[in-house]
Structure 1
Amino acid sequence: MSTLFTRIIHGEIPAQKVLEDDRYLAFLDIRPIRPGHTLVIPKIEHDYLFTLDDETLAGLLPFAKRVVPALEQVTGCKRVGVMVAGLEVPHTHLHLVPMNAISDLNFAHAKEGTAEALAAMGDRVREALRG
Protein backbone atom coordinates (compact mmCIF):
# COMPACT_ATOMS: atom_id res chain seq x y z
CA MET A 1 0.00 0.00 0.00
CA SER A 2 1.34 3.42 -0.93
CA THR A 3 1.94 6.09 1.66
CA LEU A 4 0.17 9.42 1.52
CA PHE A 5 3.42 10.97 0.27
CA THR A 6 3.83 8.40 -2.52
CA ARG A 7 0.30 9.25 -3.62
CA ILE A 8 1.32 12.94 -3.71
CA ILE A 9 4.40 12.05 -5.79
CA HIS A 10 2.16 10.26 -8.31
CA GLY A 11 -0.35 13.12 -8.43
CA GLU A 12 -3.15 11.08 -6.86
CA ILE A 13 -3.50 13.63 -4.05
CA PRO A 14 -3.13 17.35 -4.74
CA ALA A 15 -0.29 19.24 -3.08
CA GLN A 16 1.46 22.58 -3.39
CA LYS A 17 4.69 21.24 -4.88
CA VAL A 18 7.42 23.87 -4.77
CA LEU A 19 10.46 21.97 -6.06
CA GLU A 20 10.91 18.59 -7.68
CA ASP A 21 13.54 16.57 -9.46
CA ASP A 22 13.83 12.91 -10.38
CA ARG A 23 14.77 11.87 -6.80
CA TYR A 24 13.16 14.34 -4.38
CA LEU A 25 10.07 16.46 -3.85
CA ALA A 26 9.36 19.52 -1.67
CA PHE A 27 5.77 20.54 -0.97
CA LEU A 28 3.89 22.65 1.55
CA ASP A 29 2.57 20.96 4.67
CA ILE A 30 -1.26 21.12 4.76
CA ARG A 31 -1.08 21.60 8.55
CA PRO A 32 1.72 24.14 8.81
CA ILE A 33 3.13 25.08 12.17
CA ARG A 34 4.36 28.31 10.55
CA PRO A 35 3.56 29.86 7.15
CA GLY A 36 5.81 28.27 4.53
CA HIS A 37 6.26 24.98 6.45
CA THR A 38 7.55 22.64 3.75
CA LEU A 39 8.09 18.89 3.64
CA VAL A 40 11.00 17.40 1.71
CA ILE A 41 10.90 13.73 0.76
CA PRO A 42 12.82 11.24 -1.30
CA LYS A 43 10.69 9.78 -4.08
CA ILE A 44 11.52 6.27 -2.97
CA GLU A 45 9.04 5.01 -0.40
CA HIS A 46 11.10 4.39 2.71
CA ASP A 47 9.99 4.75 6.32
CA TYR A 48 13.04 5.79 8.34
CA LEU A 49 15.64 8.45 7.60
CA PHE A 50 18.50 6.57 9.24
CA THR A 51 17.96 3.38 7.25
CA LEU A 52 17.93 5.13 3.86
CA ASP A 53 20.66 4.07 1.49
CA ASP A 54 23.67 6.38 1.75
CA GLU A 55 23.26 7.90 -1.71
CA THR A 56 19.63 8.93 -1.13
CA LEU A 57 20.42 10.24 2.35
CA ALA A 58 23.40 12.22 1.02
CA GLY A 59 21.21 13.95 -1.57
CA LEU A 60 18.31 14.85 0.70
CA LEU A 61 19.86 17.83 2.52
CA PRO A 62 21.39 19.44 -0.58
CA PHE A 63 17.97 19.23 -2.24
CA ALA A 64 16.28 20.73 0.84
CA LYS A 65 18.95 23.46 0.95
CA ARG A 66 17.76 24.69 -2.47
CA VAL A 67 14.33 25.55 -0.96
CA VAL A 68 15.64 27.48 2.06
CA PRO A 69 16.51 30.83 0.39
CA ALA A 70 13.03 31.00 -1.15
CA LEU A 71 11.39 30.34 2.23
CA GLU A 72 13.55 33.00 3.86
CA GLN A 73 12.70 35.52 1.14
CA VAL A 74 8.98 34.83 1.14
CA THR A 75 8.44 34.63 4.91
CA GLY A 76 11.06 37.09 6.16
CA CYS A 77 12.08 34.60 8.86
CA LYS A 78 15.40 34.70 10.71
CA ARG A 79 16.15 31.03 9.96
CA VAL A 80 14.62 27.93 8.50
CA GLY A 81 14.60 25.18 11.09
CA VAL A 82 14.84 21.52 10.18
CA MET A 83 13.05 18.73 12.02
CA VAL A 84 12.89 15.02 11.49
CA ALA A 85 10.08 13.47 13.48
CA GLY A 86 9.12 10.64 11.18
CA LEU A 87 6.09 9.32 13.02
CA GLU A 88 3.24 11.07 11.21
CA VAL A 89 3.62 9.37 7.81
CA PRO A 90 5.72 6.23 7.26
CA HIS A 91 7.77 7.88 4.49
CA THR A 92 11.06 9.66 5.23
CA HIS A 93 10.56 13.41 5.38
CA LEU A 94 12.21 16.59 6.58
CA HIS A 95 10.23 19.51 7.95
CA LEU A 96 11.56 22.90 6.83
CA VAL A 97 10.01 25.47 9.16
CA PRO A 98 10.49 29.24 8.79
CA MET A 99 11.19 30.48 12.31
CA ASN A 100 12.12 33.51 14.35
CA ALA A 101 12.44 31.72 17.71
CA ILE A 102 13.00 28.14 18.83
CA SER A 103 9.43 28.09 20.14
CA ASP A 104 8.27 28.25 16.51
CA LEU A 105 9.26 24.59 16.12
CA ASN A 106 6.18 23.35 17.92
CA PHE A 107 3.59 21.05 16.38
CA ALA A 108 1.05 22.39 18.87
CA HIS A 109 0.92 25.48 16.61
CA ALA A 110 -0.15 23.43 13.58
CA LYS A 111 -3.45 24.29 12.01
CA GLU A 112 -5.11 23.29 8.78
CA GLY A 113 -4.14 25.60 5.95
CA THR A 114 -6.86 26.81 3.63
CA ALA A 115 -6.57 25.86 -0.02
CA GLU A 116 -6.32 29.56 -0.89
CA ALA A 117 -3.56 30.32 1.63
CA LEU A 118 -1.55 27.25 0.62
CA ALA A 119 -1.91 28.08 -3.08
CA ALA A 120 -0.80 31.68 -2.50
CA MET A 121 2.22 30.54 -0.47
CA GLY A 122 3.06 27.90 -3.07
CA ASP A 123 2.97 30.53 -5.81
CA ARG A 124 5.24 32.86 -3.83
CA VAL A 125 7.79 30.14 -3.03
CA ARG A 126 7.87 28.84 -6.61
CA GLU A 127 8.35 32.40 -7.89
CA ALA A 128 11.21 32.96 -5.44
CA LEU A 129 12.80 29.69 -6.54
CA ARG A 130 12.69 30.85 -10.17
CA GLY A 131 14.64 33.87 -9.01
Structure 2
Amino acid sequence: MTEDFYCDEVLNGKTKVNKVLETENVLAYYHTKPFWPVHIVAIPKKHISSLITLEEGDNELLLELLDVIKEVAAMVTKENGSCRVLTNLGDYQDSKHLHWHIVWGDPLR
Protein backbone atom coordinates (compact mmCIF):
# COMPACT_ATOMS: atom_id res chain seq x y z
CA MET A 1 0.00 0.00 0.00
CA THR A 2 1.18 3.51 -0.69
CA GLU A 3 1.97 5.89 2.15
CA ASP A 4 -1.13 7.94 1.28
CA PHE A 5 -3.70 5.95 -0.69
CA TYR A 6 -6.22 8.79 -0.46
CA CYS A 7 -4.05 11.47 -2.11
CA ASP A 8 -2.18 9.13 -4.44
CA GLU A 9 -5.13 7.07 -5.67
CA VAL A 10 -8.59 8.34 -4.68
CA LEU A 11 -8.24 12.11 -4.93
CA ASN A 12 -6.12 11.82 -8.10
CA GLY A 13 -8.81 9.68 -9.73
CA LYS A 14 -6.56 6.64 -10.24
CA THR A 15 -8.89 4.52 -8.10
CA LYS A 16 -12.57 5.01 -8.89
CA VAL A 17 -14.88 5.14 -5.88
CA ASN A 18 -18.61 4.99 -5.25
CA LYS A 19 -19.30 8.40 -3.67
CA VAL A 20 -21.76 8.74 -0.81
CA LEU A 21 -21.40 12.47 -0.15
CA GLU A 22 -19.04 15.15 -1.43
CA THR A 23 -18.50 18.76 -0.47
CA GLU A 24 -15.91 21.25 -1.65
CA ASN A 25 -13.38 19.97 0.89
CA VAL A 26 -14.55 16.49 1.94
CA LEU A 27 -15.29 13.18 0.23
CA ALA A 28 -17.20 10.21 1.69
CA TYR A 29 -17.33 7.00 -0.33
CA TYR A 30 -17.80 3.26 0.01
CA HIS A 31 -14.52 1.61 0.99
CA THR A 32 -12.77 -0.08 -1.92
CA LYS A 33 -11.95 -3.15 0.21
CA PRO A 34 -14.67 -3.22 2.88
CA PHE A 35 -14.07 -4.92 6.21
CA TRP A 36 -17.69 -4.48 7.36
CA PRO A 37 -20.96 -5.06 5.42
CA VAL A 38 -21.43 -1.27 5.35
CA HIS A 39 -18.05 0.47 5.22
CA ILE A 40 -17.81 4.14 4.25
CA VAL A 41 -14.69 6.30 4.45
CA ALA A 42 -14.73 10.09 4.93
CA ILE A 43 -11.59 12.07 4.06
CA PRO A 44 -10.56 15.70 3.77
CA LYS A 45 -9.43 16.62 0.26
CA LYS A 46 -6.50 18.47 1.81
CA HIS A 47 -3.66 16.26 2.98
CA ILE A 48 -3.58 15.99 6.76
CA SER A 49 -1.57 13.03 7.95
CA SER A 50 -3.68 12.13 11.02
CA LEU A 51 -5.99 13.36 13.74
CA ILE A 52 -3.06 14.30 15.99
CA THR A 53 -1.37 16.44 13.33
CA LEU A 54 -4.34 18.77 12.85
CA GLU A 55 -3.37 22.41 13.21
CA GLU A 56 -5.42 25.39 14.36
CA GLY A 57 -5.78 26.50 10.74
CA ASP A 58 -7.57 23.20 10.01
CA ASN A 59 -10.47 23.90 12.39
CA GLU A 60 -12.94 24.98 9.68
CA LEU A 61 -12.06 21.94 7.56
CA LEU A 62 -12.44 19.67 10.59
CA LEU A 63 -15.93 21.05 11.22
CA GLU A 64 -16.88 20.42 7.58
CA LEU A 65 -15.47 16.90 7.83
CA LEU A 66 -17.44 16.23 11.02
CA ASP A 67 -20.62 17.54 9.38
CA VAL A 68 -20.16 15.02 6.54
CA ILE A 69 -19.42 12.22 9.02
CA LYS A 70 -22.53 13.16 11.00
CA GLU A 71 -24.73 13.10 7.88
CA VAL A 72 -23.34 9.77 6.67
CA ALA A 73 -23.60 8.25 10.17
CA ALA A 74 -27.23 9.37 10.39
CA MET A 75 -27.93 7.74 7.00
CA VAL A 76 -26.27 4.45 8.01
CA THR A 77 -28.06 4.46 11.38
CA LYS A 78 -31.43 5.13 9.72
CA GLU A 79 -30.89 2.25 7.28
CA ASN A 80 -29.40 -0.24 9.76
CA GLY A 81 -30.37 0.83 13.27
CA SER A 82 -26.82 1.65 14.37
CA CYS A 83 -23.28 2.41 13.23
CA ARG A 84 -19.76 2.98 14.47
CA VAL A 85 -17.46 5.90 13.63
CA LEU A 86 -13.75 5.40 14.09
CA THR A 87 -10.33 6.64 13.09
CA ASN A 88 -6.92 5.02 13.48
CA LEU A 89 -3.59 6.42 14.66
CA GLY A 90 0.02 5.30 14.61
CA ASP A 91 0.70 1.76 13.47
CA TYR A 92 -3.05 1.11 13.06
CA GLN A 93 -3.24 3.81 10.39
CA ASP A 94 -2.27 2.11 7.10
CA SER A 95 -2.65 5.24 4.98
CA LYS A 96 -1.11 8.36 6.47
CA HIS A 97 -4.03 10.63 5.59
CA LEU A 98 -6.72 11.59 8.10
CA HIS A 99 -9.75 9.43 7.47
CA TRP A 100 -12.79 8.19 9.35
CA HIS A 101 -14.64 4.92 8.92
CA ILE A 102 -18.44 4.91 9.23
CA VAL A 103 -19.36 1.25 9.55
CA TRP A 104 -22.15 -1.15 10.40
CA GLY A 105 -22.28 -4.89 11.03
CA ASP A 106 -19.86 -7.59 12.04
CA PRO A 107 -16.48 -7.54 10.29
CA LEU A 108 -16.36 -9.60 7.12
CA ARG A 109 -14.18 -12.65 7.35
- The TM-score bracket by the shorter chain reads 0.7 to 0.9
1:92 paired residue number: 98
2:13 paired residue number: 11
Aligned residue identity for 2:98: T
Give the 5 Å matches for 1:1-131.
3-6=4-7, 7-52=9-54, 53-74=58-79, 76=80, 78-86=81-89, 87-99=93-105, 104=106, 109-110=107-108
Identity %, equivalent residues: 29
Counterpart-to-counterpart distance in 1, 2:59 and 2:77: 29
Gaps of 5+ in 1: 112-131
Gaps of 5+ in 2: none
**Count of aligned pairs:** 101
Provide the TM-score with structure 1 as the length reference. 0.66
CA contact (8 A) 1:17 1:27 kept: yes
SS for the counterpart of 2:64 is helix
Bigger helix fraction:
1
Counterpart-to-counterpart distance in 1, 2:33 and 2:14: 19
Which deviates further from its counterpart, 57-66 or 38-47? 57-66
CA contact (8 A) 1:5 1:91 kept: yes
Report the aligned-residue RMSD. 2.1
Which structure would you say has the larger RCO, counting Cα contacts within 8 Å and 6 or more residues apart?
A: 2
SS for the counterpart of 1:79 is coil
Counterpart-to-counterpart distance in 2, 1:27 and 1:85: 17
CA contact (8 A) 2:31 2:39 kept: yes
